[in-house]
């Protein structure tokens, strides 16, 4: 798993979108012997998924693989999938599981890592069907849910996830304010939320007080 993660990260750093290699690495990280060769042309193709069934994904096997990796390496997988624009039902399952594992550890992550996790909660990366069908237990961990959120659906769940990420970023506020390479992706995240990319309310409507107001 470590070699597969490192190889996928190397492809992302070199911006080499080799789908054949990525298929092998992604399948290894999911703990499946069957290589997943099918990729969506655009993340928008996955946004309105009506079914999340993926014959090559088994949550227990993927979780066993991810348990061998530390949190920073799990974040690196999320970053690599995003950088290479690898979009498929398999990556949706993997992203949902990784986010469920990382959500309780947000306060232990670095600022840039928290931002990577926050951006992974977008509807393109984890479609609404993961919430509404509830077949993947890892898709919405207990720290992201309560009774009111359960009854109101995925948009409030995403708001809760984003709120947790922004709360974790508060301890990095000075670092974000003074470090351009970290401030830029943070501002991009804020812009995405406020433009409706996450299908949530604007930040000022559910985040109080505002971070870096």
pLDDT digits 0-9 by tens, 25-47? 999 999 988 888 888 887 777 77
Q: What is the DSSP secondary structure assignment for residue 176, as one 8-state letter?
A: H
Say whether pLDDT at 18 is over 90: yes
pLDDT digits 0-9 by tens, 62-120? 999 999 999 999 999 999 999 999 998 889 999 999 999 999 999 999 999 999 999 99
Q: What is the DSSP secondary structure assignment for residue 210, as one 8-state letter?
A: P
Count CB-CB contacts under 10 A for residue 61. 13
Average pLDDT over residues 40-55: 72
pLDDT of residue 133: 52
To 10 degrees, what angle do helices 19-29 and 59-66 make?
90
């Amino acid at each position: 798993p470590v070699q597969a993660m490192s190889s996928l990260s190397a492809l992302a750093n070199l911006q080499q979108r080799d789908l054949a290699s990525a298929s092998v690495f992604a399948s290894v990280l999911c703990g499946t012997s069957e290589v997943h060769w099918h990729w969506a042309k655009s993340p928008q193709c996955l946004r309105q998924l009506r079914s999340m069934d993926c014959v090559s994904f088994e949550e227990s096997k993927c979780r066993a693989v991810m348990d061998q990796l530390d949190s920073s390496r799990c974040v690196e997988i999320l970053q690599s999938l995003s950088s290479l624009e690898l979009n498929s039902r398999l990556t949706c399952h993997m992203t949902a599981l990784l986010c469920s594992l990382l959500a309780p550890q947000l306060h232990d992550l670095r600022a840039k890592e928290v931002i990577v996790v926050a951006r992974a909660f977008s509807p393109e990366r984890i479609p609404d069907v993961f919430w509404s069908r509830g077949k993947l237990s890892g898709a919405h961990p207990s720290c992201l849910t309560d009774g009111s959120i359960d009854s109101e659906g995925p948009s409030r769940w995403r708001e809760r996830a984003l709120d947790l990420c922004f709360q974790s970023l508060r301890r990095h506020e000075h670092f974000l304010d003074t470090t351009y390479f970290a401030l830029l992706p943070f501002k991009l995240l804020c812009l995405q939320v406020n433009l409706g990319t996450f299908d949530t309310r604007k930040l000022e409507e559910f985040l109080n007080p505002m971070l870096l107001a």
